A and B are shown apart, each in its own frame.
Chain A
Amino acid sequence: MTEFGNVQIASKRGITRRAALQGLGVVAGAAAAPGFVRYAQAQSSEPIRIGFQCHRTGIGAAYGRWYERVTSATAKLINEAGGINGRPLEIIIEDDGTDPARGAEVVQKFANQHRVDLIYGTLFSHVVVGSAPAAGELKIPYYVVSEGYHVASGKMNRYCVQPGITDVKAQVRSVAPWIAQNLGKKVTLVFPDYAFGHDHRDFFGPALQAQGGEVVALVPIPPTETSFTRYLPQIPRDTDVIYHVMVGPAVLTFVKELGEFFGSGGPQLFGFIDSLEAVDINSPGLEFLEGSHFWEGMSRYAQPNMPEYEAVYRRTVGIDENGASVNDPNDVSTAAHMFGCWETLYVIKAAMEAVDYRGPQDRAKMIEATEAMTEIDAGPEHPQGRKTFNGKIHQVFGEQNISQVKDGKLQVVHRTSLEDGLYEPEADYTTMPF
């Protein structure tokens, strides 16, 4: 232990208090400097600052990468068209590591350090659930692009809204009738064992029963699992349809092992594209997927008769006709989800313009303006399709795609109607105080 005896505390080695104070002063000065940059034309052209809570690392990284690309493309487009109320958008990104605890810290950092106008962009449901209370306490709008039912359930707060992407409850209610009519009535659910997966578990069963079908088995899988074969024997032999939804970096392993286990002679497959987001559908070992079906929020592959605004959207965010990056055909996008970033930013723009947003004092008004929205037309600002927003539960409703793998590409074979996904609201945020 002699080594430790020789180690000295740094300050005894000659760093004086004066030097330390000088150093501190320089650091503090440097940190404060950007704050002193004032805009000549006063507040009017100061940027609107949006804090983007991004899954840059952790299990949501593939989504984070594409959410970031879509967000910056949309912000650029909005800025080129004159910004919001004449002010440019500035996106400030913080990585939450796809971790709920860090998510809450990021929310505080946005509010107290970056002093953003609002926070936006989170996908993974456990991060939203972990971060929303902090946003509520700090009274800062929190626009999520997350899919989970947690927003619509009424368990979040007045400041948490989801106007750009539909929730799992609506999605499964939309696809359940089609599954029962076209694929089979006995369904086994394979889902990740956390909030997002539980939404699938809780809402798919009742929706399928309403169609005369039944869920014959539930196979929950821990979200950090890396090996899946061990779970597959839990799927009963008499299953007609395997309904799979998986997330995280191991999705490719999951689908491969599903193929190894069943080959092409197994039950019908209906997957949420989450099981394959950011993964090339033509990866070796995935040949068995040919003919199987997927839910897609927005189609990954360019469809033959898509409207012009959808083509513009695809060009602007930089994806080719196979849904991969125009710069790298191996960099497959998360097309089924990332449109939500584009649409949410346009909802934010609309809400801010409706109340002539000036600064944080208008935050409550902005939430009220969002709550007041109802019909949202399809178009350049909402390329995924027509939507309606329910202000009571802070949740948007829309159409869903069911696609089939044909010749190694996903082809939309059915588009559900907006009404298929509607359900009775179970909460009313508008009665909550700000």
Chain B
Amino acid sequence: MAFGPYLLLATLEGLVTAAVLALMALGLSLVFGVMRVVNVAHGEFYMLGAVLAWWVASFFGGHPALGFLAALVLSPIMVATIAFLAERLVLRRLNYEPEATIVATIGLLYIIQQLALTFYGPDARPVQAPFDMRIALPWFGYSGYKLAVIAASILLILVAWILLTRTRLGLIMRATQYDRETAQTFAIPIDRVHAGVFALGAGLAALAAVLIVPIQQAHYLMGHDPLLLSFIVVIIGGLGSLRGTVVAALLIGLSDGIISMFFSPTLAKMLATLLVALVLVFRPQGLFGVAAR
């Protein structure tokens, strides 16, 4: 294949990775930014989103778009509810102590994973894409649905951006992130904000999973790699920064797509990890993060 089409394919693949990664990392970043909780179970919320999407879609016959749309709405809501409960029952009782919450979310990771294994089973199951379209380019064919994933992700990130910067809800979240105590003095119920943000973060991960599940199947171990990549994105972009997260997701997604196609996927992972190390050494707050106060 000539260089041009090769690069085009690599870029498309990279954009799909970036699109999903941006959504998922956004959730992780929100949770850290507002709550100062490092959520190690974030990948399992992603997995849960995919598994529940399969479950919801399996109730719908007829056109596959029906089941998919239902999953797109219901699965994130269900995952957000589970996250909300986990926050109320576990994280709040730990007073959001950084060390304790890391251990607690590791525990959550294993509980969710093993429950999925017990009730969903060890198999990979597909959710049918809402539409089946192959775009035939002169050099290769490409899935129309993958392009739709990129578009959907851009749309959802815009919505998240508007929510954070243009609404009262966003103002409350940003205030809590900026200074928890002062926010409380201004009668912001930070306790409820925490629960809401944790649920929102998990919901975003689930949303990313529903988008990806027609491409990759739902499997109980699928949360691992995206979690690592999300952490990489969040560290590079700066914890708690929406702009940083999106830029870093693009950077990591595209470099993953292009490097793994021209060289090898292992090299792409190595470079991403190296970038994390460099960022941690030279700019610990991340590319767009604000230095800790």
Contact = CB atoms under 8 A, between A and B. Distances in A.
Interface of A: 1, 3-4, 56-58, 61-62, 64-65, 222, 225-227, 229-230, 232-233, 237, 249-250, 252-253, 257, 259-263, 278, 283-285
B181 interface: no
8 contacts: A4-B100, A222-B265, A227-B17, A230-B265, A233-B140, A250-B216, A253-B215, A260-B134
A210 B266 CA distance: 35
A256 to B, nearest CB: 8
A253 B122 contact: no
B6 A253 contact: no
B123 interface: yes
A54 to B, nearest CB: 11
Interface string B87-123: 0000000110101100000000000000001000111
B257 to A, nearest CB: 7
Contact of A56 (B94, B122, B221): B122
B44 interface: no
B136 A263 contact: yes
Interface string B208-243: 000000011101011001000000000000000000
A296 to B, nearest CB: 21
Given A229-B9, A249-B124, A3 B94 contact: yes
A3 B142 contact: no
B61 interface: no
Contacts of A62: 122-124
A233 B13 CA distance: 12
B143 A260 contact: yes
B132 A285 contact: yes
Given A57-B117, A222-B265, A263-B141, A233 B6 contact: yes
Nearest to A249: B124
B216 A261 contact: no
Given A229-B13, A250-B124, 12 more contacts: A3-B95, A3-B100, A62-B124, A222-B265, A230-B9, A230-B10, A230-B261, A230-B265, A233-B9, A249-B123, A253-B215, A260-B142
Contacts of A233: 1, 6, 9, 140, 261
A237 B139 CA distance: 10
Give the interface centre of A58, A222, A253 by most chain B CB atoms within 10 Å. Answer: A253
A239 to B, nearest CB: 12
B50 to A, nearest CB: 12
Contacts of A249: 123-124, 217, 219
A176 B13 CA distance: 34
B84 to A, nearest CB: 22
A230 B216 CA distance: 14
